[in-house]
Amino acid sequence: MAKTILTVDDSASIRQMVSFTLKGAGYGVVEAVDGADGLEKAKANDVAMVLTDQNMPKMDGLTLIKSLRAMPKFQSVPILMLTTESGDAMKSQGKAAGATGWLVKPFDPPKLLEVVKKVIG
Amino acid sequence: MSGTDNTTAGDRGGAIDMSQFYRVFFDETAEHLAQMENLLLGIDPAQAGDEELNAIFRAAHSIKGGSGTFGFTDMTEVTHELESLLDKARKHEIVLTIEMVDALLAAGDVLKLQLARHRGEPDVAEPPVAEVCARIRCFVTGAAAPPVVSPAQAEAPQPKRALKIALPAPPGEDTLNKLFDDLGQYGEIEARRIEEGVCTFQFNTAASAQTLNDVFAFFVDPDAVRIEIAAAPAEDPGYGFFTDPAPAAAADPGYGFFVEMPSPPAAQPASPDAVAAPSPGRRASDRAEAERVRAGRRDTDKLVVSAQGDNASIRVGVEKVDQLINQVGELVITQAMLAQSVAKLDPALYQNILTGMSDLERNTRDLQESVMSIRMLPIAFVFNRFPRMARDLAAKLGKQVQLKMEGEATELDKGLIEKIADPLTHLVRNAIDHGIESAGKRIAAGKQEMGTVTLRASHQGGNIVIEVCDDGAGLSRDRILAKARERGLPVSDDMSDHDVWRLIFEAGFSTAEVVTDVSGRGVGMDVVKRNIAELGGTVEIEAATGVGTRIIVRLPLTLAIIDGMSIAVGGNVYIIPLAAVVESLQAASSEVKSVAGGGRVVEVRKEYLPVIALRDVFPTGETAAETTRSIMLVVESDGVKNALLVDELLGQQQVVVKSLETNYRKVPGIAGATIMGDGRVALILDVPALVQMSRH
């Protein structure tokens, strides 16, 4: 059974790249264009993992993560933040919000697959 | 499933062709750049709101993310600078000034040039990257004057590397914090330590030595700073997990986990209402899709569905839309032919068919309108370039001008939008350059210092009306008459104002006192008028000396369908655009007079109009029957009336315009062709051209 990954990013080109990469590796992909859309899509789909950007209109990544963690269904689903920096501030904010981990942008397809495989196999 | 995918996943991951995503990235970036420019043009620097600043920051941030992901490092470099400045602004660490906004706008221009290059557009100017980056950087670091950076010294973006830095700790914790803040613009600082007055830290950065020295110079003697490449170059994996027991060397893998990552988690417990397991065949179809996409996308087939909340839209190739419009045009013609045949049937016997035909006509017309509206776009697409242009031009001329726009949502055909841009640009430049006076003159004239140029668009009848108004100096009747006499044009002192203003449209006409490099070489207005006429439109001027000027452009909503009068000449049917027709009349022989030189004129209400015998223009070899009454159509073009002599007036109808040029070749005097209800071809006359031809 293919595992479905929810990818949340307001950039269509990056969503497409992520989607193409993951699908090519046999994962299912659901795309969302911002945090609010991500929340809706998360509720409506059976996702094994969430990848979310930070800076998005309507609802940013950290808020999405907090909202997801408040839902029983998403207590233990791995959520990775896509972030442009790996400094301490990001890490503490992410951890506090309940993220499972982070992936630094820009990343390339092999890196993406490496991380996803580590998380959900 | 994932297990067996490992080898193929790895191969495919490494071999993914990123260029398939470029086009979407380019379009996205263009939108972000446009939004950034709009926001920058609209903010009041001193009172910029948080929402606005954040929005501008996000736009720059998005461009940076995408350009980094897809490898456009030249754009990443510029957006990085933009982002630094904007980040400081939105965190209220600095207050924006007009100079900063100008620098940000300039950076946006550089990004546009870089984007154009990547798109493969020809003849793109060299973007002044180093200059613009330096300009922004000096705002970020607070330097007094931008260091002049010659292209030779331009900093090439470096790959990220880990540096070990040691410097004498400056007195005061504040200074040290500020130093780290500034350095933080260029990379990540780690493992900070201060021992015996020496501060050491690790710094992962892509910035060049020059940049770093500039920063250090503010706080310490740059010579006292020791920089080494870290012994074990930080292999940056680029991710991390928040409770991975990381190896002591704390090399940053580029990702991380906050919690223990168990080995691949157990399969999700199947719940009764679980989504149906995708069939094994699904992977095959995914792979097939990937192959198809990689095998080379056909641009016109690229369908991108982007649901942006409540604004779902689809990108479709223009060729597809044109083909659709063409086919609907054919449908309209076929329906008209069918209607004509059916009209002969006995209504009593064939009532159902006749009712059906009437429904068909209504459906066809609805379909036609819907399809035409696909190509309709708001005129905002053209108007949007003007605020920036006006700002730059006004600044260049040292004038205070504000640009107002009304009716930007008014729609017109995409083809018209592209063609109306140039003439409108000229009109707006004219308004700012020649219309609006300098601040001094305005105040002396009792006006407000700030001049206003207004762009207004609206629908009137079957036309779109675009006005360019200014509250400037208006036109000088005397100067125009003098100039006209100078050029030998036939004028008289008792010409109406309306006729005097129209002289401006004569070729080579300009009464500008000083020819600026903007407009005023006198090649403008006649070209504007010709361009608009080619689109089937008209342009008029209204002016009041000292008060202002108003240019009114009227364009047909679409080029593809027109209302026409059908006439017969020499056994053939021709169509005359209804917009050109003033009236039709039957003239008695006594009213038609010969003129020296071989022409004829007809007297209409005390006016003598030149007669153009279409039989002579389109000879068919038939001799005209002698008639006592001549049927004429009075037409107007360029404000001048002529009378077309025809054999018969047939009727009035809407016709679908087919291009003669694409199907045959350009024929002087003919604007296009159409197929009538009886299946015959009728040529559509180009009235202004005919009038010109008849003069020679």
Q: Which two tokens stand for residue B221?
A: 């003697």
Q: Does residue B293 register a pLDDT over 80? A: no
Please give the residue range of the domain that contains residue B635: 561-694
Three-state secondary structure of B368-383: HHHHHHHCEEECHHHH
B24·A13 Cβ contact <8 A: yes
Measure in Å the smallest separation between the Cα of A108 and chain B Cα atoms.
7
The predicted pLDDT at position A39 comes to 94
Q: How far apart are CA B454 and CA B425, in angstroms?
A: 13
- Highest averaged pLDDT of the listed ranges B51-55, B418-422, B549-553: B549-553
* Stretch B361-387: mean pLDDT: 87
Smallest CA-to-CA distance from B252 within B272, B224, B232 is with B232
- On whether both B628 and B654 belong to a single domain, the answer is yes
User: Which residues of chain A fall below pLDDT 50?
Assistant: none
Q: Under a CB-based contact definition with an 8 Å cutoff, are residues B176 and B170 in contact?
A: yes
Chain A residues with CB-CB distance to B10 below 8 A:
110, 113
Q: How far apart are CA B472 and CA B45, in angstroms?
A: 28
Q: How far apart are CA B117 and CA B115, in angstroms?
A: 5
User: How far does chain B reach from its first CA to its final CA, in angstroms?
Assistant: 82
The predicted pLDDT at position B463 comes to 78
- On whether both B540 and B391 belong to a single domain, the answer is yes
Residue of B nearest to A27 (CA): B2
Measure in Å the smallest separation between the Cα of A94 and chain B Cα atoms.
8
Chain A residues with CB-CB distance to B5 below 8 A:
25-26
Give every CB contact of residue A118 below 8 A, 6+ residues apart in sequence.
Answer: B241, B261
Q: Does residue B521 register a pLDDT over 60? A: no
Q: Is residue B517 part of a domain?
A: yes
Q: Is residue B282 part of a domain?
A: no
Q: Does residue B652 register a pLDDT over 80? A: yes
CATH number of the domain at B168, please.
3.30.70.1150
Which of B62-100 are b and which e, b meaning 16 or more Cβ less than 10 Å from the residue's Cβ? bbbbbbbbbebebbbbbbbbbbbbbbbbbeeeeebeeeb
Q: Got the DSSP string for B536-554? A: T-EEEEEEETTTEEEEEEE
**B197 confidence band (pLDDT: 50, 70, 90):** confident
- Omega prior to A106 cis, within 30 of 0: yes
CA-to-CA separations, B50 to B43, B56, B81, B88, in angstroms, rounded: 11, 10, 20, 12
The larger pLDDT score, comparing residue B310 to residue B50, is at B50
Chain A residues 89-118 with CB within 8 Å of chain B? 91, 94-95, 99-115, 117-118
- Highest averaged pLDDT of the listed ranges A32-46, B241-255, B528-542, B593-607: A32-46
Q: Is residue B625 part of a domain?
A: yes
- On whether both B465 and B501 belong to a single domain, the answer is yes
Q: How far apart are CA A19 and CA A13, in angstroms?
A: 10
Chain A residues with CB-CB distance to B25 below 8 A:
11, 13
The predicted pLDDT at position B274 comes to 34
Torsion B504-B510-B516-B518 (CA) sign: positive
User: How far does chain A reach from its first CA to its final CA, in angstroms?
Assistant: 12
Residue B635: strand pairing partners: B581, B642
Q: Is residue B276 part of a domain?
A: no
Smallest CA-to-CA distance from A12 within B25, B2, B266, B10 is with B25
What region does B639 belong to: left with phi over 0, alpha with psi -120 to 50, or beta?
left
- On whether both B99 and B212 belong to a single domain, the answer is no
Closest to A121 (Cβ–Cβ): which among B2, B259, B277?
A: B2
* Residue of B5, B258, B282, B297 to mutate for A, most A C-beta atoms under 10 A: B258
CATH number of the domain at A9, please.
3.40.50.2300
Q: Is residue B430 part of a domain?
A: yes
The predicted pLDDT at position B187 comes to 79
* Stretch B584-605: mean pLDDT: 86
Q: How far apart are CA B254 and CA A108, in angstroms?
A: 12
Please give the residue range of the domain that contains residue A84: 4-120
Q: How far apart are CA B536 and CA B541, in angstroms?
A: 17
- On whether both B478 and B550 belong to a single domain, the answer is yes
Closest to A12 (Cβ–Cβ): which among B5, B256, B304?
A: B304
A24·B69 Cβ contact <8 A: no
The CB-side HSE value for B527 (13 A sphere, CA atoms) comes to 15
B259·A45 Cβ contact <8 A: no
Measure in Å the smallest separation between the Cα of B232 and chain A Cα atoms.
19
**Each residue of B245-270: pLDDT tens digit?**
444 344 556 777 776 555 444 433 33
Q: Cβ of B492: how many Cβ atoms within 10 Å?
A: 8
Q: Cβ of B39: how many Cβ atoms within 10 Å?
A: 18
Q: How far apart are CA B312 and CA B71, in angstroms?
A: 29
A14·B65 Cβ contact <8 A: yes
Closest to B28 (Cβ–Cβ): which among A12, A108, A115?
A: A12
B61·A121 Cβ contact <8 A: no
CA quadruple B26, B28, B33, B38: dihedral, nearest 10: 150
**Each residue of B8-34: pLDDT tens digit?**
333 334 567 888 889 889 999 999 999
- On whether both B662 and B637 belong to a single domain, the answer is yes
Average pLDDT, chain B: 78
Q: Which two tokens stand for residue A13?
A: 């080109």
**B567 confidence band (pLDDT: 50, 70, 90):** very high
CA-to-CA separations, B201 to A83, B164, B582, in angstroms, rounded: 23, 6, 85
The larger pLDDT score, comparing residue B425 to residue B188, is at B425
The region of weakest confidence among A60-74, B12-26, B359-373, B488-502 is: B12-26
B268·A85 Cβ contact <8 A: no
The region of weakest confidence among B40-49, B93-102, B521-530 is: B521-530
* Residue of B239, B242, B260 to mutate for A, most A C-beta atoms under 10 A: B239
DSSP B487: T
**B224 confidence band (pLDDT: 50, 70, 90):** confident
Q: How far apart are CA B159 and CA B675, in angstroms?
A: 66
- Which of B375, B408, B443 terminates a domain? The answer is B375
- On whether both B410 and B524 belong to a single domain, the answer is yes
β-pair type (B548-556, B538-544): antiparallel
A1·B241 Cβ contact <8 A: no
Chain position carrying tokens 């036309």: B463
The predicted pLDDT at position B252 comes to 57
Closest to B286 (Cβ–Cβ): which among A23, A80, A119?
A: A23
Q: Is residue B308 part of a domain?
A: no
Measure in Å the smallest separation between the Cα of A99 and chain B Cα atoms.
7
Residue of A nearest to B67 (CA): A106
B309·A33 Cβ contact <8 A: yes
Contacts across the A-B interface (CB distance below 8 Å) = 186
The larger pLDDT score, comparing residue B494 to residue B685, is at B685
Say what percent of chain B tops pLDDT 90: 18
Q: Which two tokens stand for residue B208?
A: 């060049």
The predicted pLDDT at position B587 comes to 87
Q: Does residue B455 register a pLDDT over 80? A: yes
Q: Under a CB-based contact definition with an 8 Å cutoff, are residues B600 and B592 in contact?
A: yes
Q: Does residue B526 register a pLDDT over 50? A: yes
What global pTM score does this model have?
A: 0.53
β-pair type (B561-569, B548-556): unpaired
- How many structural domains does chain B have? 5
- How many structural domains does chain A have? 1
Residue of B nearest to A121 (CA): B264
- Highest averaged pLDDT of the listed ranges B26-30, B591-595, B670-674: B26-30
Q: Angle formed by the axes of helices B209-219 and B129-141, to 10°?
A: 20
Smallest CA-to-CA distance from B188 within B254, B242, B138 is with B254
Measure in Å the smallest separation between the Cα of A70 and chain B Cα atoms.
17
DSSP B431: I
- On whether both B634 and B656 belong to a single domain, the answer is yes
A11·B62 Cβ contact <8 A: yes
* Stretch B684-692: mean pLDDT: 86
A101·B5 Cβ contact <8 A: no
Smallest CA-to-CA distance from B165 within B111, B107, B204 is with B204
Q: Under a CB-based contact definition with an 8 Å cutoff, are residues A74 and A47 in contact?
A: no
Smallest CA-to-CA distance from B399 within B449, B473, B443, B444 is with B449
- On whether both B538 and B679 belong to a single domain, the answer is no
- On whether both B218 and B340 belong to a single domain, the answer is no
Closest to B58 (Cβ–Cβ): which among A46, A55, A119?
A: A55
The predicted pLDDT at position B4 comes to 39
- Which of B360, B375, B390 terminates a domain? The answer is B375
Q: Does residue B452 register a pLDDT over 90? A: yes
Q: Does residue B628 register a pLDDT over 80? A: no
Chain A residues with CB-CB distance to B1 below 8 A:
1-2, 26
- On whether both B84 and B32 belong to a single domain, the answer is yes
Chain A residues 6-65 with CB within 8 Å of chain B? 10-14, 16-17, 20-21, 23-28, 33-34, 36-37, 45-46, 48, 53, 55, 57-58
Measure in Å the smallest separation between the Cα of A75 and chain B Cα atoms.
13
- Which of B344, B360, B375 terminates a domain? The answer is B375
- Phi and psi at A113, nearest 5°, equal -65, -35
Q: Is residue B244 part of a domain?
A: no
The predicted pLDDT at position B6 comes to 37
Measure in Å the smallest separation between the Cα of B3 and chain A Cα atoms.
7
Measure in Å the smallest separation between the Cα of A100 and chain B Cα atoms.
5
A33·B241 Cβ contact <8 A: no
* Stretch B157-184: mean pLDDT: 75
- On whether both B133 and B110 belong to a single domain, the answer is yes
Give every CB contact of residue B35 below 8 A, 6+ residues apart in sequence.
Answer: B55, B59
Q: Under a CB-based contact definition with an 8 Å cutoff, are residues B601 and B641 in contact?
A: no
A26·B21 Cβ contact <8 A: no
Q: Does residue B281 register a pLDDT over 60? A: no
Chain B residues with CB-CB distance to A16 below 8 A:
21, 24
Sheet holding B640-646, edge to edge: B581-588, B629-637, B640-646, B607-613, B600-604, B592-594
- Phi and psi at A51, nearest 5°, equal -115, 120
Chain A residues with CB-CB distance to B189 below 8 A:
87
Q: Does residue B188 register a pLDDT over 90? A: no
- Highest averaged pLDDT of the listed ranges B3-12, B76-85, B514-523: B76-85
Torsion B486-B490-B496-B501 (CA) sign: negative
A112·B293 Cβ contact <8 A: no
A20·B16 Cβ contact <8 A: yes
**Each residue of A50-61: pLDDT tens digit?**
999 998 888 989
